[in-house]
Structure 1
Amino acid sequence: MSTARIPESGSKQLRFRRPARSVRAAGDVRESHGGRRLATGITIAAALIVLAHLVHAVALAPYFLLPGPGPWAAWIALAVVVGIGVVSRTVSRSLPDWLYVLLLIGLVAPVWLDVSATAGLLQHGVTPTAAAAAGAVLMPVAAVRGTRVPLAVAAAIAAVIAIEALVQVVSAGAYTVAGVAVAASAVFPILLVTFAIDGFRRLVGRELDLSLVQSTVGTARSAVGMRASEELAQLDFDAETLLDDVGSGRIAIPLPPEAAERAGSLAARLRVRLIEGRTDTWLRHAVTESAYLSERVTVDDPTGCAGLLSQGQRDSLLLALWLLVADGPKKSTQPLSVVVRCRENAGDRESESAGFTVSIEVVGVVRRRVDPSTWDAIGSVGVHEVVPGAEGFRIDIACRVDPNLPAGSQSARAAARSRGS
């Protein structure tokens, strides 16, 4: 289960537990959502780098001291490690942890054999090749098993190659630069892969999280979200357990003090849940159930005005909030926060069409850094005005909706578009 902090209007902090199926959908970016293509591209790039190191080994082979094994013992050891990994991955889609660790340890053999074979030969331009190729072999491993461990192993390999080159600086002279360059070639490709994979997973995670919470825009004005469903399920279970104990005679009537206190607590929790449910709109559920919005967005909607919005307006408001917080400033002394306040217009309460104002207070980002698509989305919600502030800005949106039309209906969307124009 995945947890996310839920901002509430009071001081109490709750935690929302996302269902396991949603967690798997958001986290599985290796075998789906384009992850397989990314892994395939990384594997092809790794194969080309290994092939380049192999060609370099063939070119350097005549310069190795005889009767030593030359670079081939290290390459054979590397081929054995890679072969075992490929066969294991083909037989089983999930590589066992023990075999993964064993294969990483196995890379010590080609690195040690290659460094031993090239020791003292840098003055002739002979550098390690299989050891550098071992760093490239870790590139597809990073795409399958995560980036931290492969990056650390590649850095260790690069350090060994660099130390070997620096030790020979007196005899090697200018060739020391070539040795350090080979060391960099062992870690630089996987460093680029790490940036690519982390960025890809972050992008896919955000888009999937938005897709998971976007289902809330089609609910009724007052609806029960995933968090409330879990709470109600637990309350139902506790109530059924208590009633079963009373019905079976395990708890006598009149109820003993402990059972009576338990029944009173259940009744109080049910009343609170029912009262909150009247204003617990789709907007609160969307913010609560999003791993990205829940940490930065606070909803203040005491009368449930957000439930009056049509589905098109809901989509646009959710997208606007998403764009405001998804790409916040990386380095800022003021943390990014967004407060959404929904208030009824007093003059429209008796009219046929209901009007209310949505105020979005943004702190920690300047207006010029806001994505232009954000303003397009806000314009679909209603007529808006931007008020600058000392630490950010405020967006006041005048929303006009018909409370007699069900939210999300075609008529509601048509009415909202006609009023917005």
Structure 2
Amino acid sequence: MSPFRRASDEASPDTTHEIQFDRPTRSARAAEDIRSAHGGRRLAVGVTTAAGVIVLGHLAHAVGLIGVFPPGGGSAPAWIAFAVVAAATVVATRGLTRVADWTNVLILVALSVPIVLDLAATANLLHLGVTPTAAPAAAALLLPVAALRETRTPVAASAVIAGVLAVAALLQAATAESWTVAGLAVAATAVVPVALVAVGVRGFRRLVGRELDLSLVQSTVATPRSAVGMRASEELAELDYDAEALLEDVGSGRVAIPLPPEAAEQAGRLAARLRIRLIEGRTDTWLRHAVTESAYLSRRVSIDDPQGLAGLLSPSQREGLLLALWLIAGQRRRKPSEPPLEVRVHCRECEARDPAGDPADDRFRSAEGMAVAIDLDVSGLTARRADAATWDALDNVGVHEIAPGPEGFRVRIDCRIDPTVRNPAPPSAVNPRGA
């Protein structure tokens, strides 16, 4: 089987212009490896260390309360149960980069045991200054879980634990008086660290995801004027595999000639899909592939380049345009009521002009005798809110003019195409099955 084939065998004939992009298996695996290499493991180690420090703090608090408990009481059974759960959690999640759902459920159920035992041991003792210790320590075990899987479940579980501890403290407010504040503070220690870690982990994942996606789509700046992207390469690999399978069946005699109706229909479908792909490949430039294959740009950026003029840009111009689109599309809305951010890119031919406004000489004309004008119509973002690095990136593309509007702005870029600067040479033909 071709290494580019997806796990799902359902492939539509034309998937180039879909909004969502499913990366090939090898690319997705490489992305996960890069994500870990960009500090994911260090983040998990740091969160685990913080959880250990919090647990040790609650344990020291529990040791200090030993002399305050009435005879025959204490939180020792709760801490023993906590130690068993903690050891089992470490063994169950050791070496994992993601906690399975069933493992997460077992951890949450097991954590209820030390919490119940601790609440039972400290019931009606808040007036003596006795607060739960094993229960908030159990919530600290959710910190590594938040770093290894989605953060909503750990935050919700810690909020439940904090709510139970707060209710237990408020029920003793009549007798505990000022110690009620200490009980509520202990309840806060169960949820605040988990919430902070969740915010940090979400920000880290968003940052790494954006930078990783940009790194992957930046490979398009080195492609020739008309080239296939990752999605098209995957589809061509599937077509290659299906065609070779059919030819092998014919060559081995498993399929007779003339072809039976089913085999002939399959061959016709393969030929039609290949023709569609070849026709679209004539105008599908690096810019269209970069936008389509990006999980971030594909949501906000649309390309109007029927002549494939973006392929005439040099690698430095391509990189500047891609970075500018990235910075614009990466802006987040300040208020939910703001209109959605959209960027429309329109490429067209124009007459090259020098900075003084006079027609440029033939050295700066494109291979077709014209320069390229790129219009960026941005809605949902004002020019003053755009990152300052956006204009620096556009300086590498060409001379640009900004026309601000009430809810957006428009950028006109005149790109000089120097024919002496060669576009990236097309790569040699490679058999997708051998890639």
Structure with more contact order per residue of length (Cα contacts < 8 Å, sep ≥ 6)? 2
> 2 CA distance for matches of 1:371 and 1:187?
35
1:155 and 2:171 aligned: no
1:246 CA drift (Å): 5.7
> 1 CA distance for matches of 2:295 and 2:7?
9
1:320 CA drift (Å): 0.7
1:200 CA drift (Å): 0.3
Alignment-mate amino acid for residue 57 of structure 1: A
1:179 and 2:195 aligned: no
1:278 CA drift (Å): 1.4
> 1 CA distance for matches of 2:16 and 2:103?
48
1:141 CA drift (Å): 2.4
Alignment-mate amino acid for residue 59 of structure 1: G
Deviations 1:357-395 (CA, angstroms, capped at 9, x unpaired): 011111111111101011100111110001123431111
Secondary structure in 2 matching 1:16: coil
Alignment-mate amino acid for residue 312 of structure 1: S
Alignment-mate amino acid for residue 160 of structure 1: V
- Is the 1:2–1:18 Cα contact (8 Å) retained in structure 2? no
Mark the CA change 1:14 to 1:47 in structure 2 (over 3 Å): closer, same or farther: closer
> 1 CA distance for matches of 2:222 and 2:327?
20
1:64 CA drift (Å): 1.1
- Is the 1:30–1:144 Cα contact (8 Å) retained in structure 2? no
> 1 CA distance for matches of 2:262 and 2:360?
47
- Is the 1:342–1:359 Cα contact (8 Å) retained in structure 2? yes
Mark the CA change 1:298 to 1:243 in structure 2 (over 3 Å): closer, same or farther: same
Mark the CA change 1:238 to 1:328 in structure 2 (over 3 Å): closer, same or farther: same
What is residue 376 of structure 2 aligned with on the other side? 360
1:139 CA drift (Å): 1.1
- Is the 2:21–2:231 Cα contact (8 Å) retained in structure 1? yes
- Is the 1:312–1:408 Cα contact (8 Å) retained in structure 2? no
Identity of aligned residues (%): 58
- Is the 1:309–1:401 Cα contact (8 Å) retained in structure 2? yes
Deviations 1:73-105 (CA, angstroms, capped at 9, x unpaired): 212221222123234445777766555433332
What is residue 329 of structure 2 aligned with on the other side? 325
Deviations 1:127-185 (CA, angstroms, capped at 9, x unpaired): 10111111112212221233222222212211221121122222222322221221111
What is residue 339 of structure 1 aligned with on the other side? 344
What is residue 43 of structure 1 aligned with on the other side? 48
What is residue 3 of structure 2 aligned with on the other side? none
Alignment of 1:369-408 (within 5 A): 369-403=385-419, 405-408=421-424
> 2 CA distance for matches of 1:212 and 1:400?
27
What is residue 237 of structure 2 aligned with on the other side? 233
Q: CA RMSD in A?
A: 3.0
1:28 CA drift (Å): 5.0
What is residue 53 of structure 1 aligned with on the other side? 58
Alignment-mate amino acid for residue 303 of structure 2: V
1:164 and 2:180 aligned: no
Mark the CA change 1:92 to 1:293 in structure 2 (over 3 Å): closer, same or farther: closer
1:234 CA drift (Å): 3.0
Q: What TM-score results when the alignment is normalised by the length of structure 2? A: 0.83
Secondary structure in 1 matching 2:59: helix
Deviations 1:25-74 (CA, angstroms, capped at 9, x unpaired): 33457742111222222222222222221222222222212122x12221
Q: Bigger shift: 340-349 or 318-327?
A: 340-349
> 1 CA distance for matches of 2:183 and 2:34?
37
What is residue 222 of structure 2 aligned with on the other side? 218
Q: What TM-score results when the alignment is normalised by the length of structure 1? A: 0.86
Q: Where does structure 1 lack aligned partners over 5 or more consecutive residues?
A: 4-9, 410-421
Alignment-mate amino acid for residue 342 of structure 1: C
> 1 CA distance for matches of 2:360 and 2:280?
22
Alignment-mate amino acid for residue 197 of structure 1: V
What is residue 429 of structure 2 aligned with on the other side? none
> 2 CA distance for matches of 1:230 and 1:150?
38
Mark the CA change 1:83 to 1:266 in structure 2 (over 3 Å): closer, same or farther: closer
> 2 CA distance for matches of 1:71 and 1:200?
37
1:265 CA drift (Å): 4.3
Q: 1:123 aligns with which of 124, 127, 151?
A: 127
Alignment-mate amino acid for residue 28 of structure 2: V
What is residue 68 of structure 2 aligned with on the other side? 63
1:108 CA drift (Å): 1.4
1:16 CA drift (Å): 3.4
Q: 2:23 aligns with which of 13, 18, 23?
A: 18
> 1 CA distance for matches of 2:34 and 2:160?
28
> 2 CA distance for matches of 1:362 and 1:274?
32
Deviations 1:305-334 (CA, angstroms, capped at 9, x unpaired): 111111111111111111111123143431
